[in-house]
Every structure is written in C-alpha cells, then in structure tokens.
Structure 1
Amino acid sequence: MKKTIIQLFFLILIQSIFLSELTAESNQEARFQENIKDSKSALVLDLASSKFNLDLLTKEFANYDVLIVGEEHNDERGHEISLKIFQELSTKYPLTLSLEMLEWHQQETTNEFLSGSITESAFLNDSKYWNNFQKDYLPLLRWAKENQIPVICANPPRRYANALARQGFSAYKNFPKNERLYPLPQNLLRDRNSIYEAKLRDLFQGHSSHASIENTILAQNFWDAGMTEKIASHQLISSRKIFHLNGRFHSDYGLGLTYRLRKAGIRTLTLTLLPEEVKTEGERKIADFVIFTNKPILKEDGKSD
C-alpha cells in the first residue's frame, strides 16, 4: 500500500512538471504573439537555457519576407549566433543572404565566387573588404555557396557615402552617369523631426559642425536607402525570404532600414544581438527578438559552450 502511494505521488509529480513545461512554452508563445502585435517589447531568446532553440523565431519568420539581424560588428559571439540562425533558417525556407558588409559594385565578383567561376582566394583578392570580413562574414558566404543560396551585396559603395558626408547633395553632380552604383537622391527622403534623426544627431554631436552633422546624417540615410532598394527589389521579384545582416543602428527600434522596408510593404521581422545584458525596459523595445550574446549556450550535458 505504502509503495503504491509513493508511486502515485511520483506519477502526479511528473505529470505536474510536464504540464508546467507545456504551460511555460504556451505562455512564451502567447507573449511573443502579443509582442509582435504591439512591438512594445522584444522576446528575449535565452542562451543560458539548456533548451535554447530557434523554434519561435523560425516559426514566426513564416509570416515575414525579411529578417534583419542587427549586430555589434566586433561581437564575436554574435557572429557565431548569426551563422547558426542563418544556417537554421536556410534549411526551412527558400532564403537569400543580404549583407551590409558587401557593396553594390562587388555583386558580380560575389556571384562568380558563388557559382564557382572563381576561387575563394581570387574573390578575396579582387576587392577591399572589412578587416574582420574573412573571419566573421566569409563563413556566411561559404554556407551560401555550398547550399546555392543567392547573396545580395546590399550597401552602396562607401566612396559615394563619404562624398555625401563631405559635400552634401552636391556630390551627386560628380557621380558617374553611365552606370548607377548608388541610390537616387529622391530616395534619400528624410524626416528631420523623426526619432531616427534625433538619435543620429545625438550620436554625431560634438564630433563636427552643424553642416557636417547634417551631411553625415545624409550619408547614413544614403546607406539605408541603398540597402532598402536592393533588398526590396530582390524580394519583390524573387519572392524569396531574405536574411539581412547589418550594424544594429540601421535597424533598432523599427527605425532606419526597418522603417523604410516596412513603408515599402515588405513584411520585416527584426532581431538584435546584444553583447551585454540590457538593464532598462526601454531597451527591450529595440527589436522583435533580442539575444544577449554574453550568455553561454549550454550543451546537453549542462556544460557551457
């Protein structure tokens, strides 16, 4: 009799634990759906959880055209996570990779590398890339090549952005007319009273004169407009989902690139990778998803990765 009671107790305990886990997962899903609707707070994917997976992100991406992943460019852990997410999503959806780290004029060489027409060393020697490109972003291209995934070189050339930062709109007079390697001036529409402009002014304040700040903001909008053009045109024509990676200032808080894509009717989901724990509630509004990259991922044996 005593043995039966003990067995019954453990059975009830196991059922209770199982039901609580189901409830927790259900609550997490419900909270996520609510967050997506009102965009008031991000859903944090907890790397420290032994059950860490990308199921919620993967499932929600079914309802979107583009996932923007905003990163800190020197966040090595964030680069590892970006690759993991890209690989996971590419097994679930027809996907295109889009990178801020590659510029419009590098598209032809990138396509040649992806098709196998040129070697990896020839690709790397053909143009100037970011200092950490080979270590942190080339793995994304290698995966794309292995799995026949198209790649968008999303950023307009830096030399034109630099010219705008120095000269303002008058720099357009000296841009080449025979081939368009830059977004048109009318696509650089700005709302000078927007939150984005205020954040940019705060960022550049004290570093230069008023005219210089205005031109630097213009260059930032130039990059946003250029990435918007490439991503939107590819998505509308191909109907493929797009995984886009950029510095998080381009996409946080639904601003910059995120705002432009959504205004163009492109259904856009955002994920921000943060190397440090965010302390304020306001910071949790930066994206639809947030991953704190300083937390270790636990393996199945409970040890940190």
Structure 2
Amino acid sequence: MRKLIVSLLFSCFTTFIFSQGKPAYKLFNAKGNKVSYNKMIKTMNKADVVLFGEHHNNPIIHWLQFETTKDLFQKRKLILGAEMLEADNQKVLDDYLAGNIDEKALDTLARLWNNYKTDYQPLVDFAKNNQLKFIATNIPRRYASKVFRGGFEVLENLTSEEKSWIAPLPIKYDKTLPGYVKMKEMMGGHGGENLPKAQAIKDATMGYFITKNRTNKSLFIHYNGSYHSDNYEGIYWYLKELNNEIKIVTITVVEQENIKKLKKEELKRADFIIVVPKTMTKTY
C-alpha cells in the first residue's frame, strides 16, 4: 500500500513539474498581461457573443474551444455556430442535432471539412447531447468564389433561396479596413479589389447569421479562423454595424518560440491571446 501511495505521489509530482516546465499554452489579455483561464471564462460569461479565433490545425485551440464551451454551459444558455459549416447545410445539420439522421448521413449530405471528425465534431456533438442550437454561419463557398471572380455585383443574380444563405444585399464594405488592405498587399495585388471582397462576404454573412440567431438571454459562441476576427475587424466589424451595443469578446491564437511573454506586435490583436509553441503538433 505504501509503495502504491509513493508511486502515485511521484507521478503527480513529475506531472506537475513537467507541466510547469513545458506549458502547452500561455494566456494574455490585449495589453500583454498574463491572465488566468478562469478570468477569461468570467469575462466571456458577461458577453453577448464570443468570437473564438483559431488556427484550424492547432490541437490546443480545439481542446480549449471545447473546454470553454463546456465550462460556459454550466453558467449560461448557449448557442453555438461556426465558420466551418455553410448556411445551405443548416437543414441537414438540424436533422443531425435532432437525431433524424446519423453521423454517416451528415458526412454524406453536408460539406464537412477534412478535419471535422477530430476538431469540430466534438463541438457539434456537445450541442446535440445538450439540445443546443448549432448555426452554420458561413456563406456557401461557391458564392464567395463568384465574388472573387466578379465582385459583389454577381450576388444580385442569385435566386431568392440562394440569397437566403448570405448576408442581405447590398453588402456594406469598407475597403480601408487594415485587414482587407493587408490581404491585398500580401497577395501582391493578385486578385485585385475582389480578393478582400471575397473575404468580406464571408465576414458579413457570419456576422448576419450570428445576429439573426442569437437571443438576449443566450451567449453565442462562434468558432472561426482568427483572421476573421483579429484586430476587432472582420466578423466583429459587421456585428457592430448591425448592433453597436452588442458586447463581444474576441480570442485569437499566435505561435511563438518563447511563449512566456507576448511579442509587442501581437498586442491588442484580441481581448484574449492564446500563445502556443511553434513546435506544437498540427492536426494536418
């Protein structure tokens, strides 16, 4: 019995030392000050919308998304939504959540991302198991491709049903927003003015479906690529355009070689900044 107790104590001690010496992430606020996970949860709990920005292939972020969702569910009524599911798949998603179709049928009928099973199915199944709404917020990608080729004008030719899967026309657009300007510069001008417009139609549509489906008594948690909400732009900008009084908490992720201190250039990127090691394993 004594050997068992000693063994357990040694295991706990070495686990503690390892976790302190090799943390998987560090959490900072917009000013670069270290904050606790519980502080982040308390702040999220006071919001109307949480925009949980991610790197799509980072396992730590997907784990934190699930853990924060689970912990906030203990405090608030939740509505979940994600960039990774497109608006025209909402009916199929609702059928899955209601138990009318199984996982195989969902995979067949909906356009699921390649990493859906490992990274997003746990969130969808959490909604299913707890009778929560899960909103497919993104524009069908074929319409974003149309905008890239022909600008916002091509959307006028969509049918009434197709228009129900995107933000209402005309699309409000500010080409001077730094994120859209930077996107154009990074591509060296390739894609012209329509490249950031293709990004904007995604942001506008996600903002629209978040606004349409949220309620005053619920917290809407939205999972999206960090570039869709970094620097309080993208989805955040469109949400504020629709309702300037809405309380939004943003989260982003950055990769650094040294995660103990947030780099200056990453300050004010979001309300909470999750720093993960550059060597962190990727899911794809």
TM-score of the aligned structures, taking structure 1 as reference length? 0.74
- Change in 2 beyond 3 A, CA 1:113/1:238: farther
Matching residue of 1:273: 253
> What is the CA–CA distance in structure 1 between the aligned matches of 2:64 and 2:109, rounded to whole Å?
28
Q: Taking structure 1 as reference, are residues 178 and 60 closer, same or farther at Cα in structure 2, changes over 3 Å only?
A: closer
Report the counterpart of residue 122 of structure 1 in structure 2: 105
Is the aligned partner of 1:260 residue 2:238? yes
Sort the Cα spacing of 1:227 and 1:242 in 2 relative to 1 into closer, same or farther, 3 A: same
Q: Which one of 213, 217, 221 corresponds to residue 243 of structure 1?
A: 221
Q: CA deviation at 1:117?
A: 1.1
Is the CA contact 1:102–1:153 (under 8 Å) kept in the aligned structure 2? Answer: yes
2-side partners of 1:285 and 1:178: how far apart?
A: 39
> Letter of the aligned partner of 2:208 in structure 1?
E
Sequence identity of aligned pairs in percent? 31
| Counterpart in the other structure of 1:174 | 157
Q: Does 1:84 align with 2:67?
A: yes
SS at structure 2 position matched to 1:213: coil
- Indicate the residue corresponding to 1:69 in structure 2: 52
**Structure of larger gyration radius:** 1
User: Contact 1:44 / 1:289 at 8 angstroms: preserved in 2?
Assistant: no
Separation (CA, whole Å) in 2 of partners of 1:152 and 1:94:
15
What code does the residue aligned with 1:234 have?
N
Task: State whether structure 2 residue 186 is matched by structure 1 residue 203.
Answer: yes
Change (3 A) 1:157 1:44: farther
> Is the CA contact 2:80–2:222 (under 8 Å) kept in the aligned structure 1?
yes
Report if aligned partners of 2:83, 2:138 keep a CA contact under 8 Å in 1.
Answer: yes
Matching residue of 1:228: 207
Which of 82, 99, 108 pairs up with 2:82?
99
Structure 1 residues 176 and 151 mapped into 2: Cα distance closer, same or farther (>3 Å)?
same
Q: Return the offset for 1:75.
A: 1.0
1:129-208 map, 5 Å: 129-179=112-162, 180-186=164-170, 188-205=171-188, 208=190
What secondary structure sits across from 1:160 in the alignment? helix
1:117-152 superposed Cα distances (whole Å, 9 cap, x missing partner): 111111111122111112111111111111111101
| Number of corresponding residues | 246
The one-letter code sitting in structure 2 at the alignment partner of 1:273 is: V
Letter of the 1:246 counterpart? N
CA contact (8 A) 2:48 2:216 kept: no
Q: Root-mean-square deviation (CA), in Å? A: 2.2
Query: 1:158 & 1:190 partners in 2: Cα distance?
Result: 19
Instruction: Verify the 8 A CA contact 1:99 1:153 in the aligned structure 2.
Output: yes
Secondary structure, aligned partner of 1:285: coil
The residue type paired with residue 119 of structure 1 is: D
Residue 91 and residue 43 in structure 1: after superposition, are their counterparts in 2 closer, same or farther (change >3 A)?
farther
Q: For each residue in 1:89-111, what CA deviation from the matched residue of structure 2 results, as whole angstroms up to 9, or x when unmatched?
A: 11211011110000101111111
The answer for the alignment partner of 2:31 in structure 1 is 41
Classify the secondary structure of the residue corresponding to 2:81: strand
Supply the distance in 1 between the matched residues of 2:67 and 2:187 (Cα, whole angstroms): 34
Partner amino acid, structure 2, of 1:181: W
Q: Secondary structure of the residue that 2:85 maps to in structure 1?
A: strand
Secondary structure at 1:118 match in 2 = coil
Aligned to 1:128, the other structure's residue is in SS state coil
Structure 1 contact 77–294 (Cα < 8 Å) conserved:
no
Query: Partners of 2:104 and 2:55 in 1: how far apart?
Result: 27
Contact 1:252–1:286 (Cα < 8 Å) also in 2: yes
**How far off its partner does 1:61 sit?**
2.0
